[in-house]
Structure 1
Amino acid sequence: MVSIICTLRDHTDELSGCAFSPSLLATCSADKTLRVYNTADFSELPFSPLSGHGYGVHCCCFSSCGSFLLSCSTDGSVIVWSSGTGEVVAVLQHPSRSPLRVCALALDSSLVLAGACDGTVALWDFPSKTLRRYSLTSVSEASVVACCFSPCGQFVVTGCTNGDLKLWDVDISLLHAEKDAHDLGVTCCSAAPQLEVGSLEKTVLKISYLSHLSTCIMTLLHTLTSHSAPVLSCAFSSDGDLVVSGSVDKSVAIYDAFHSVIHTLHVSAALPSPCRYVTAVALSPTKPWIATGSMDRTVNVWRIGDGDSRTGIYLAVNCLGRKLPGHSRLLVADWSEQDVQTWLREEGLEELVGNFKANNIDGPELSYLNKETAAELGIDIMTYEGKGLSAYATCLNNARV
């Protein structure tokens, strides 16, 4: 289901970030540099590495068109690079020169946001490269280590080491909502069209839904707990269907954002050489690929599914069954008995509804379905080969490997 494409070993210190554009992969490191690769063959571009920061680089991101690459550093600056030439287009300096831990660019490339260790954020107008707003009073008493723009461009989310997750207007002047999201601190956040906020701490990833019909409300949607050690990075796919996270436990978890874990990739077991903490993850907007960065100084690029760019990610997403009308925002483990029965009907398995109902099969029970447990119900999985039940059991078994 997930296979290695290549391993990049060019950085001389631990990886801190990676990002895809439609045709490029960028990585950044504590070695003060960024490296840029052509995704056609993952060869490093002639102008790479990019050197300009005085200290380690913590974060990098592309503009939506792919023409610009942004990076931020302990040196308190955001550098805007030309993706085509590697030249420095602009240097955006944080007013207090506080170390910057994270930067983000609005989807329409109108604004740049950066979070600092002193608890402040700075907002620049991207076309003119001028400072638009600087929070003279801290948005948090702790370091701002996570930030993102909502896809609609109307809101900004910030996450801090004290566990706060805050929703602001786009000018960072009005606080719409605040959550004490994580006891042990937020490490990253990401946004998607349907699921506005994903954030992480310790071993837990939480997905929230943002509603702003009349008032802005952040509602906890899922809590995902597949990791056994602190989670360091997360990312949504461009369509919002997948969530990927990397952890100190040396694994990468791939989730269907609406259902459950599709696959847990144990990087250390999948590679011939030892692996350390997974510190960065990114998904390609055009290919079924994931990039993961590690403290072992390497970047691994993985393929999801059969490698077909048209179906790869969607094959993986749909592997655990179709989304149920009215239940598409529930994890399988959260399904009621009625949800399971509705799913059976959706898959053309009406004859099994009575059996499942008699045995009180709900979402948690369905999550552990395999050939053996099905046999206990008097069901021969192979009888349903090619139908939803067989595919579901097969995918679950693969995900547990």
Structure 2
Amino acid sequence: MLQPVAVVSAHKGDVNCCCFSPNGKLIATASGDHTVRLFESSNGREVDQSPLRGHQFYVNVCVFSPDGRILASGSTDGKVKLWSTETCKEIGTLDVHISGVRSAAFSADGYHLAAGSSAGVLKVYKVSSRRMYRSLFAKETSIVALSYSPNGFLLASGSGSGEIRLWDPYAGLSLTSTEADDLCVSTCVFSPHHTSNVEQQEDGTYKLTHRFVLASGGQDHTVKLWNVVNIEGETSILHWQTLSGHSGPVYSVCFSPDRLYLASGSGDKTVTLWDMGYRTAVCTMGDHTRYVTTVAFSPNGKGLATGSNDKTLRIWKVVDPSSVAAASEEEPALIVGECRMAKLLSERGIKPKCPLGGWSVDDVGEWLRKIGLREFEQTFRDNAIDGTELLGLDAQMLADDLGITALGHRNKILRAIRELYSSATTNNGVPEEFLCPISMEVMQDPVIASDGYSYERSSILAWLGEGKQTSPMTNLPLASSSLTSNRQLKMLIERHLSVSNQQQKEQTSDET
């Protein structure tokens, strides 16, 4: 899955952070040698104006603005510096922290920059004026990780005390927090995609709901996935799953732009690529000789950069050996990386009722118009893309065969395809995480097993009652047979079913 492209040994100190420019042409690195450097992503060659000098101590973090014009860096010297990516010259220094800057993140619109310090102070700046917009205080602990939600409404922070905290960066409010690790949350990052929906209430008002996925890593050697739900300002964070496999602390995680993969770097000197559909490890690379401190996907998802305490930056090509899963004559192909639910249904000999395989070219054209991509309708017609062909498309085919060059358009099409398939294969649109992986039915009494997954209590008890001592999801040995009630998940399921039942009643009423 990962093919080496280049090994860069320009730094004389640890590579603490790396990131791709929005156009994917450059990779920036922050190092313990007090410098920030820029490299060409295609071959690892350092650009002529590099390195960028100005910090007096370790540079812990670097991040590009969404438009790619500014590179921000944070250092143990307590300064956040802004650099022009065109001239590689310093264009400003933000308000100095009283302690080292450990983390930084731009908002999705690029108007704000958040920076976290070793003293637990979180500052949000207006980039245009270089002035502080908000100053927040978490705890007397380091803020070592920051990530804005893709819509910019939320800001997640990870701390040295093992806590993940969610903030409203505009109101300057702490919304909620959860203990994610016994020692330290070294990294946290929002998935690049989220879902939003508007529901009309009985009193005629409307309720807006945003749902996000957040990944974190820490000293417990695992990657944790969280469901973040924001309903009219009320925010909750719910543990979803735990990905186990590393034998050392997880220092960095990063989603691919299409959210099909998650990369993690660890103190065990390895980089692991996880399939987010099946939530299993795809491959693990151990080419670094010391801790892997940072991982970053390229904007098109075809490249991966990793940095380490071995003072090297490694650039990889992400290769999918089979971009489309094999399909029988009776059943259309599934997209690789699709939901684990589809795989489990297939393993149990259950064929989902998926009408998309019967779609005509005209049906596909109508679907494109509905999702706001009318401009590609003729291209799909010219290539005779019907329902079966639609389900077989992947990012490379969209770019190379259909000539859809814009990353945003390709991602929108793939997301819409996944939503079509998911709604056709799961229980009438019930979110996958609400279904028991054993019975495939909506959970009524969800419990968390020692593998970190949630199951219907009766189903997992029956599984254990058969003498099975392995996880139904990972096939690895279960640490114990103890079960913990997942009250938060039960509440979300009940809320979802209540809304669905109300919508069905309203629809029935309208029809009569």
TM-score, shorter chain, exceeding 0.5:
yes
Partner-residue secondary structure (3-state), 2:94: strand
Cα–Cα, structure 1 residues 218 and 367, in superposed 2: closer, same or farther, change >3 Å? closer
Partner-residue secondary structure (3-state), 1:212: strand
1:267 paired with 2:268, answer: no
Q: 2:278 touches 2:338 (CA, 8 Å); kept in 1?
A: no
Which residue of structure 2 aligns with residue 49 of structure 1? 51
1:166 paired with 2:185, answer: no
Task: Find 1:336's aligned residue among 413, 428, 438.
Answer: 438
Task: Find 1:213's aligned residue among 231, 241, 254.
Answer: 231
Q: 1:258 touches 1:330 (CA, 8 Å); kept in 2?
A: no
Identical positions, percent: 30
Partner-residue secondary structure (3-state), 2:13: coil
Q: 2:256 touches 2:301 (CA, 8 Å); kept in 1?
A: no
Partner-residue secondary structure (3-state), 1:297: coil
1:184 paired with 2:183, answer: yes
Partner-residue secondary structure (3-state), 1:76: coil
Cα–Cα, structure 1 residues 234 and 329, in superposed 2: closer, same or farther, change >3 Å? farther
Q: Aligned partners of 2:146, 2:473: CA distance in 1, in Å? A: 36
Alignment of 1:70-219 (within 5 A): 70-94=72-96, 96-135=97-136, 138-171=137-170, 173-192=172-191, 193-194=193-194, 195-202=212-219, 203-214=221-232, 215-219=234-238
Q: 1:150 touches 1:196 (CA, 8 Å); kept in 2?
A: no
Cα–Cα, structure 1 residues 143 and 172, in superposed 2: closer, same or farther, change >3 Å? farther
Partner-residue secondary structure (3-state), 1:300: strand
Deviation, 1:54, is 0.7
Structure 1, unpaired ranges of 5+ = 269-273, 340-358, 370-401
Deviation, 1:337, is 4.5
Q: Aligned partners of 2:240, 2:338: CA distance in 1, in Å? A: 20
Q: 2:62 touches 2:73 (CA, 8 Å); kept in 1?
A: yes
Q: 2:6 touches 2:43 (CA, 8 Å); kept in 1?
A: no
Deviation, 1:103, is 0.7
Cα–Cα, structure 1 residues 172 and 104, in superposed 2: closer, same or farther, change >3 Å? farther
Q: Aligned partners of 1:207, 1:58: CA distance in 2, in Å? A: 25
Q: Aligned partners of 2:321, 2:5: CA distance in 1, in Å? A: 10
Q: Aligned partners of 1:57, 1:46: CA distance in 2, in Å? A: 20
Deviation, 1:201, is 1.2
- Aligned AA (2:163): D
Deviation, 1:40, is 3.4
Cα–Cα, structure 1 residues 176 and 85, in superposed 2: closer, same or farther, change >3 Å? same
Deviation, 1:158, is 1.3
Which residue of structure 1 aligns with residue 347 of structure 2? none
Q: Aligned partners of 2:120, 2:54: CA distance in 1, in Å? A: 25
Higher RCO, 1 or 2 (CA under 8 Å, sep at least 6)?
Answer: 1
Partner-residue secondary structure (3-state), 1:216: strand
Q: Aligned partners of 1:316, 1:40: CA distance in 2, in Å? A: 26
Matched positions, count: 339
1:317 paired with 2:332, answer: no
Deviation, 1:308, is 11
- Aligned AA (1:155): L
Cα–Cα, structure 1 residues 327 and 18, in superposed 2: closer, same or farther, change >3 Å? farther
Which residue of structure 2 aligns with residue 24 of structure 1? 26
The C-alpha deviation readout for 1:346-382, integer Å capped at 9, x for no partner, is xxxxxxxxxxxxx999x9567569xxxxxxxxxxxxx
Q: 2:301 touches 2:318 (CA, 8 Å); kept in 1?
A: no
Q: 1:237 touches 1:283 (CA, 8 Å); kept in 2?
A: yes
Q: Aligned partners of 1:57, 1:117: CA distance in 2, in Å? A: 13
The C-alpha deviation readout for 1:228-267, integer Å capped at 9, x for no partner, is 1111111122233321110011111111234212323232
Deviation, 1:306, is 4.8
1:252 paired with 2:271, answer: yes
The C-alpha deviation readout for 1:265-284, integer Å capped at 9, x for no partner, is 2323xxxxx61111111010
Q: 1:150 touches 1:156 (CA, 8 Å); kept in 2?
A: yes
Deviation, 1:92, is 0.8
Cα–Cα, structure 1 residues 140 and 316, in superposed 2: closer, same or farther, change >3 Å? farther
Q: Aligned partners of 1:329, 1:32: CA distance in 2, in Å? A: 46
Q: Aligned partners of 1:85, 1:298: CA distance in 2, in Å? A: 25
The C-alpha deviation readout for 1:121-177, integer Å capped at 9, x for no partner, is 111001221111223xx3112111111111111111111100111111113621211
Task: Find 1:290's aligned residue among 304, 320, 323.
Answer: 304
Q: Aligned partners of 1:40, 1:305: CA distance in 2, in Å? A: 15
Cα–Cα, structure 1 residues 291 and 201, in superposed 2: closer, same or farther, change >3 Å? same
The C-alpha deviation readout for 1:289-325, integer Å capped at 9, x for no partner, is 111101110111111115999xxxx986359877663
Deviation, 1:39, is 2.1
Which residue of structure 2 aligns with residue 13 of structure 1? 13
- Aligned AA (2:12): T
- Aligned AA (2:218): E
- Aligned AA (1:115): G
Q: Aligned partners of 1:317, 1:85: CA distance in 2, in Å? A: 40
Partner-residue secondary structure (3-state), 2:57: coil
Which residue of structure 2 aligns with residue 36 of structure 1? 38
The C-alpha deviation readout for 1:61-104, integer Å capped at 9, x for no partner, is 1111222111100011111111122011111133x431110111
Partner-residue secondary structure (3-state), 2:110: coil
Q: Aligned partners of 1:223, 1:254: CA distance in 2, in Å? A: 14
Q: Aligned partners of 1:159, 1:148: CA distance in 2, in Å? A: 9
Q: Aligned partners of 1:8, 1:277: CA distance in 2, in Å? A: 16
Q: Aligned partners of 1:28, 1:288: CA distance in 2, in Å? A: 22
Deviation, 1:49, is 0.8
Query: Moved runs in structure 1, 4+ residues, more than 4 A?
Result: 306-309, 318-324, 326-332, 363-369
Q: Aligned partners of 1:145, 1:198: CA distance in 2, in Å? A: 14
Q: Aligned partners of 1:205, 1:41: CA distance in 2, in Å? A: 30
Q: Aligned partners of 1:77, 1:328: CA distance in 2, in Å? A: 44
